Each structure stands twice: as C-alpha cells, then as structure tokens.
Amino acid sequence: MKISVVGYPRIGADRELKHISEQFFKKDVTATELMAAGAAIRKEQWLFQKESGVDLIPSNDFSFYDTVLDTAVLFNLVPHRYRELELEPLDTYFAMARGYQGKKGDVKALSMKKWFNTNYHYLVPEIEDDTHITVTGTKPFDEFLEARQAGVHTKPVLLGPFTLLKLARFTGSKTVDDVKEDIVTAYREVLTRLNSLDATWIQYDEPALVRDLTEDDLYLFHELYDGILSAKGSSKILLQTYFGDIRDIYGTAPLQKFDGVGIDFVEGSQSLELVAAKGFPEDTILFAGLVNGKNIWRNDYEKSLYLLGKLQEKTTSIVLSTSCSLLHVPYSVKAETKLPSDYIAHFAFAQEKICELAELRDIFDNAGREHPAFIRNRQLFSQKREGSNPAVQDRVGAISGKDYIREPAFVERERIQKARFHFPLLPTTTIGSFPQTFDVRRNRSQFKKELISEEQYKDFNKKKIADCIALQEEIGLDILVHGEYERNDMVEYFGECLDGFLFTEKAWVQSYGTRCVKPPIIWGDVSRTRPITVEYSVFAQSCTDKTVKGMLTGPVTILNWSFPREDISLKESTLQIALAIRDEVLDLERNGISIIQVDEAALREKLPLRKSDWFTEYLDWAIPAFRLVHSNLKAETQLHTHMCYSEFSDIIRSIDDMDADVITFEASRSDLTILTALKDAGFRTEVGPGVYDIHSPRVPSVAEIKNALGSMLATVPVEKLWVNPDCGLKTRGTEETISSLRHLVQAARELRTVL
Ligand SMILES: CN1c2c(nc(N)[nH]c2=O)NC[C@@H]1CNc1ccc(C(=O)N[C@@H](CCC(=O)N[C@@H](CCC(=O)N[C@@H](CCC(=O)O)C(=O)O)C(=O)O)C(=O)O)cc1
Ligand SMILES: N[C@@H](CCS)C(=O)O
Ligand SMILES: [Zn+2]
C-alpha cells in the first residue's frame, strides 16, 4: 500500500518563513534572501517526507502567503489596481496580500476569508471583466523541478478549477459562464506542462465538493474537468477532497474520470456509508484520508484498520492518506520540552502523522496486530486519561432552560442602558487589543523564562494599560479598552488560565500570511479556578472617568481555536467553557465593570459546511452556550460581542439570537455586503461594522471612513450604529494605529455635526 500526504505546513518548524518575511516587509532582507529561505524550508520538508517513506509527496503546497493567492497569480488574476502600481512581481504579490501604501499609490489588499471550516485564511481572487485568464506564472513547474533537483519526485498540488471559481469574486458583469472556457484552457496548459515534466501524479484540490451542490454545480464540475482532462497525458490525476463527504457528487459519472479520488474519512460523516452503499469505481484508486490533518490526537490504529477493512470490501486499490493538508497542525511534538511524556504520547503533529501513515502501512501490509507499533497504540488507547472533573460534569448536567435567557428583554435593556451611559451618537470604540509591540512581548517572554518577577511583569503591563488609556483619551475615543497586553493570544491566554487545558511552546499553526497561532489543547474537563481578567480590567477602569470595556473570549471561540477533545462532544466541552466564562463575566460586573465584551470571533468557523446540518449539529448548542455566558447580568450592564469575517448574512437571525446588546464585526474587506442582510433581517442588536481593515498597514483617510459610515447609515438606524475598526489592533504598528484611530474619531465627529 502506498502513502500520500495532501499538503504540509510551510511556515517552517521554527517559523523561519514568518520571521524572514516580516524582515523582508521591513526591507531588512532582500528578495533573494527571502527566496532562499523558502527554498530551504521546501527542501528540508521534501527530504523528511521521502526519508519517512511517503510515496506521494506534495509540491506547490508551499506559499509565501497563501496558495489561493498563488493560484490567482499563476492564472494572471491580478486586478488593475495592483498592475497599475507597476511594482516588481514579488511586490505586486505582497500588495495583493497586504495592500500597498507608498510612492506608487495606495491600494487595499484583496479580501481575506476563512478557508472552509478552519482558522486558516485565504485571499479572495478577483476576476474583472477584462481579466485575461492565462498561465503567466511558473510556480508549480519550478517547485516540481526544484524537488527533482533535490532528489525528490513530487506530486504537484493545484487548487482545482471548480473550487477556484467558487471562491473567486467577479467584480464586473461577467459570471462563471463567461470565463470557464478560459479557465479550462489555462488548466489544460498547466497539465500539459506537468505531463511533459513527467509528473506521475497531479493533485487537484476540490474542497468545494463537500458543500451542498446544485445541479448547475455538478454540471460545471463536469464541464471543467471534461475540458481539462482531454489534455491528459501520462500523468495520473488525483481529485482530492477534504473537510467533509462528497455525497452530492459521489457515484456520478464525473468521478470515474479520475485516476484517484481522495476522500476524507475523518470529517466526512457519510464517507464510509457512501463507499459501502455505492461501491467504488473499478479503475480508480481510493485515497483514504484516515489520519486527521486538523486535530493533534494520535490515530487510533484499531479504528483505522477496521475502516481499511471495510473499504477493502469494496476496492483493493487504496492509498493511505491524511484527511486534509497538514497545514492545520503544528510541525512536531519534539519541540515540546515542558509537557510530560505521558501527555505528549497522545499527540501527533505533522511529522508524527507522517510516521503514523508509515506505521499503518506496515501494520496493514505486513505484521498486522503483532506489530510493536500496533501494540503500543493499543496500550495508549486503553489507558484512562486523567482530567475528568465530576463537579464540572454535574454543573453542566444541572443547566436548565432559564439559564439561557437574559431578562429583561433586549428592547428594555437598550432603554435602560441608553439612560445609563449617555454616549454620543456614533459612539467610537476599538475591538480590544492594541499593538503588541516588542517591549510587550519581551516582558511576557522574560516572565515566562523567570527572568523577571510576577510583580515586575504585572507592573509593566499596568504601565502599558495606563498609557493606552491616556492615549485613547487623547485621541478622543468614547469607550475605552485596556489593550490586552497580558495576552499572547485571545484564546491561548484563556487556555493558560483555565483548568483542563494544556498549552504548548512551539506548536505554531499558520492563520494567515505570516501570522500564526498556538492553539491550546483541551485535555480534560474545563473549569475556572480563579478570576482571570478582573485585576487588569479594574486597574484600567481606575485610570479614567470614561467607560472601559471588560474583555473576554467566548466559549465557542475558545473551543474553535483550540484542539478539541475527541472523547466528549463539542457541545459538552463548550458548555464547560461557557460556565467558566460566565463566572468571569459576573465577577467583572461585581467589580464595577459596566460594559463587558465577549468575543465570538470564530462563531462561524465550525458551522457545518452543509446547510442541512447547521442547526442540529451546531447552532442549536453554540448560540445557547453564548447566552449562558451573559444571561445572569443586570439589565444596565452592556454586553458586547465581536465577530471577525462577517460572512454571517445567512445566519443573521442566529447572531441576533445571541442576545448581545452590541455587536462589532469585520466589514471593510467584504464591501459592507452584510448591511443589507442586517436590514432585511430586522436586526435589533446595535452594530459596529468595522470602518477600516486592520489586517493591512495602510492608514484609512477621514473621507474614506466617512464614506463607509455613510453607506452604513443608509441601512442601520443612527441610534444603533457604533464606530470601530474591523478587529483588534495587536498586529499593527503604533504609528499607523494612532493615525487610523485619529481619522476614525474625526470622521465620527464630523458626521455627528450633520446628523
Ligand atoms: C483575530 N484572529 C485570531 C485568530 N485565531 C486566534 N487564535 N487568535 C486570533 O487573534 N484567527 C482569526 C484572526 C486572525 N488571526 C490571527 C492569528 C495570529 C495573529 C498573531 O498576531 N499572531 C502572532 C503570535 C502572537 C504570540 O502569541 N506571540 C507570543 C510570542 C511568541 C514567540 O514568538 N516566542 C518566541 C520566543 C520568544 C522569546 O523567548 O523571547 C518563540 O517561540 O520563538 C507572545 O506574545 O507571547 C504572530 O506573530 O504570528 C493575529 C491574527
Ligand atoms: N478582543 C480581540 C478580538 C480579536 S478577534 C482583539 O481585539 O484582538
Ligand atoms: Zn476580530
């Protein structure tokens, strides 16, 4: 049996690519040095996979920012605004990724969205009416040849045409129908060139197939691949799907065109059933995605062998594979020096997952259940894991219907709160974090290394908070924040402070571009053993007469941005976290904090990819879990929430049902399309759609912000509209933050005079 890897992380085991890219952005290193660093990462990873016995090793899964962006550049999908800058190709690439503000002009970045149900973000390709779709890039060919030079014969990975067209945005009057022929021609050219380079396998990633498909979608898929595969030469073609099952297309004729079909047996709830019920095409190889590319628990070999056995009843042509790209897990547990070995034994990151694939192959092909790796694996899974807390389980069991309902109802609370706070029209605020400058991170790092005392650590943070409050007062913001200086990350921090979580040292996962996260691991039952944010919040409030928001992360986001348990349900874990955050919310209120923001940045992330599962599998417990957090607050305490990536037009009623008093969300990169949905849904929660994009270093002008607010006022009643950036400012530089916030305040003030 052969083994295949869908994709590999690329940020570098020690985040080398992040560091050198950020140096490149600051012009501290040259493009040549950046290229060399990329090449070194690729080579090391290819060789590792080869030495580990992987048969189908991916290439072109590397990226300096994002592979969807790479695909856009490959096919010349470069909008005018970037061409007109007349930059060098690499600078054009980064202008599309990050925006550009300099001598040659001032343009925003491409829109950025969540990659299906993950915390990875892709850049949304734009197709303009006069975009000439053609192959102008060489990346897939270059990387294939580069790997060959290193002695590794790889499987080039391409984003498939169906998913590309589903994700792209048409900015003019053209539609998919107008461009599909050109797309087919361009993909045929890539295929022909890879054929001529003697690629044995070429992988087409089509995760869009796991969503609900219409007849038109199926027809489009069929048309695209009919066209492309007519250029098929000796290379074998793998249709790779992931993040779910492909029930809408399974069993239809188009699948039989492929030499291999990759199916996710981890997230695909119906994958096994589909193969069992409908069989598998005789001349096609099944790439069975058994090793979880998204979570970090070790593979249960007994379960995998059972599954393989079931699949073998239908086909004997099987390649063992990861369920999706390993991009979503960290590099290796070897970098974790502080976690005890009996914890580590339960984890498999990217490198260990590759070893798991190799072991599973050996077990399956040769030694069977006598294999030492199988015996070790059985022992691991038969051990009872410490971490259960009966008091937490009882508390969850005792939750009743009324615990999910805040009284009085929204309208009455809104009246009471307006009378209490007397904020001006268009109140200005920020989302919470202020720039995490070098000194902030150094303070934390020195404390973690025990180079400074806890008192020194806290005093530094308090000094930063006091300065941050003074700065916000000087800028003229209405509702202030403490700046979140004590947090490395809004989820990792709570993971560190709650019982039941484990956290890692180097287990970084790419979130977007050079930005990485270290998701904490939910190991056992979760509880709060002490107040977490009260001291800093109370201190911040003591620095000013203005209102300072308390700042927490919500239970659904904590769950979604952690590595979750697999031995209890997501609902159960979320309710445990919700009870812990509820205690914190009430402690903040008791300590005089009058506005509390509970961020649910990732609420949408684990929304099932198929609509039919939205409520039963997710929203029916995720929304109540949020309500549980704030239902016991007094009417006069204002509860805010914040969500990134406002792709929630379709779940707008559920968002209103969270029963927050105010919600702020990302809107600027998605052209404020959410506003119409708010109006249509009769949204009652007060809203602060972000007026500028914080993922880019560019400073928005006052006119631009007024313009955005003008569009918002066309649909949102003025007494419900808040003014804020898209998201937290932690990734931004200090100077650009101050300028942007000054413009924001000025824009609100100028508008107030005419309202
Ligand atoms: C808001 N978003 C978030 C998402 N997911 C999260 N989990 N958190 C989020 O805030 N998803 C959607 C959006 C956008 N996504 C991101 C993701 C990541 C960032 C970000 O700014 N990440 C930082 C990492 C910040 C961090 O934790 N830094 C540590 C320092 C760690 C470090 O570098 N350690 C060194 C050793 C240092 C020493 O010893 O001196 C090392 O390990 O080598 C800290 O502050 O303590 C990033 O830089 O990538 C933003 C938005
Ligand atoms: N309060 C957080 C939310 C980010 S989604 C922040 O400001 O960084
Ligand atoms: Zn956010």
Three-state SS string over 123-146 comes to ECCEECCCCCCCCCCCHHHHHHHH
Distance CA 89, CA 83 (A): 9
Give domain limits for the chain: 414-449+476-485+535-754
Q: For ligand 3, a single-atom ion, which residues have Cβ within 5 Å?
A: 601, 644, 727
> 3-state class of 547 per DSSP?
strand
CA of 478 to the centre of ligand 2 (A): 18
pLDDT of residue 646: 65
pLDDT of residue 670: 66
Best residue among 430, 481, 484 to mutate for probing ligand 2's pocket (most ligand atoms within 8 Å of CB) is 484
pLDDT of residue 349: 98
What distance lies between CA 317 and its chain's CA centroid? 34
Matching residue, tokens 């500028």: 692
Q: Where are the alpha helices (DSSP H) in 363-508?
A: 372-382, 390-397, 410-421, 438-448, 454-475, 492-497
Which residue's CA lies nearest to atom 6 of ligand 1?
Answer: 517
Residues 6+ apart with CB under 8 A from 282: 315
* CATH assignment of 414-449+476-485+535-754, among 3.40.50.11540, 3.20.20.210, 3.30.565.10, 3.30.930.10: 3.20.20.210
Short-list 95, 44, 57, 93, CA closest to 72: 93
Model ipTM value? 0.95
- On whether 642 is known to bind a ligand per the annotation, the reply is yes
Closest ligand 1 atom, residue 516 Cα: 49
- Using CB distances shorter than 6 Å, the residues near ligand 2 are 431-433, 484, 490, 551, 599, 601, 642, 644, 727-728, 730
The reply to whether ligand 1 has any atom less than 6 angstroms from the CB of 445 is: yes
Q: Which two tokens stand for residue 63?
A: 């990226």
Best residue among 114, 485, 492, 599 to mutate for probing ligand 2's pocket (most ligand atoms within 8 Å of CB) is 599
State the ligand closest to the CA atom of 666.
3
pTM higher than 0.90, yes or no? Answer: yes
pLDDT of residue 749: 98
- 433 and 487 in contact (C-beta within 8 Å)? yes
pLDDT of residue 144: 98
Mean pLDDT by 10 residues, the chain (755 residues): 98 98 98 98 98 98 98 98 98 97 94 94 97 98 98 98 98 98 98 98 98 97 96 97 97 87 97 97 96 98 96 96 98 96 96 98 89 96 91 98 98 98 98 98 97 98 98 98 97 97 97 97 97 98 98 98 97 98 98 98 94 96 98 98 85 96 86 83 95 91 96 95 97 97 98 95
CA of 462 to the centre of ligand 2 (A): 19
Closest ligand 1 atom, residue 114 Cα: 12
pLDDT of residue 673: 75
- 695 as an active site residue: the answer is yes
- 413 and 662 in contact (C-beta within 8 Å)? no
- On whether 324 is known to bind a ligand per the annotation, the reply is no
